[in-house]
Amino acid sequence: MHLDFFSRLPKTTRGNRVDKRLKLTVAQVETLKQYGKEYFDGETGYGGYFYDGRWKPVAEEMIEHYKLTESSRVLEVGCAKGYLMYEFYRLGITNVHGCDISEYAISNVPKEIAGNFRVMGADKLDYPDSAFDLVISIDCINNLDSVGVDRAILEMMRVSRRDVFMRVGSYRTVEEYENIKGWGVTSLTFDSEAQWLTRFKRLNYSGDYYLRFMELLK
């Protein structure tokens, strides 16, 4: 099911930053693809990704929708510095886990939750079957190639005993395609809306999703 938990997430301005990204050199993009300090906190990447509480309303809406309780186990795949899971923790869902390909990001997860956060690729999750009540992935799997995206989706289904939610970048128009290409310089998979829906059907994906069509605010 298509679900939107993001209406209360602050809208970030991207127009000017896409113009900048289009001017990146191939070498700078290669550096970003290492998902190190430059990707999160450098000029050519996020420009500084620090805790500011912005994910709290998203966590509140997910907790309510998925009827999570104190005993629920939640995993975020591609969790970066763990800020969404940190909001779950602060709201009383303390059994939170995360994984990300980035050693740098995992080493910057808030210390209260860091024990359950691991460096790991989304396409091969080192967790048992049905280990979590909810598995979330936000803006991560576009960074895998198409085979990797399939694997990641199947892995998320495997490790969840109940719910899966993923947000992925997509497009319906040529303009949205240009925007997502310009913004997602590390992305390897660019599926249109129809292609995502076909992929979900082919994989028997039974979870929820949000297709993110990129509008550019100056």
Ligand X SMILES: C[S@@+](CC[C@H](N)C(=O)[O-])C[C@H]1O[C@@H](n2cnc3c(N)ncnc32)[C@H](O)[C@@H]1O
Which residues of this chain interact with ligand X, rule CB under 6 A?
A: 35, 78-80, 100-102, 105, 121-122, 138-140, 143-144
Task: For the CB of residue 117, give the shortest distance to ligand X in the complex, in Å.
Answer: 11
Task: For the CB of residue 176, give the shortest distance to ligand X in the complex, in Å.
Answer: 17
Query: Residue 58 or residue 63: which is nearer to ligand X going by CB?
Result: 58
Task: For the CB of residue 36, give the shortest distance to ligand X in the complex, in Å.
Answer: 9
Query: Residue 122 or residue 156: which is nearer to ligand X going by CB?
Result: 122
**Rounded CA separation 191/207 (Å):** 18
Task: For the CB of residue 83, give the shortest distance to ligand X in the complex, in Å.
Answer: 7
Query: Residue 38 or residue 139: which is nearer to ligand X going by CB?
Result: 139
Query: Residue 29 or residue 194: which is nearer to ligand X going by CB?
Result: 29
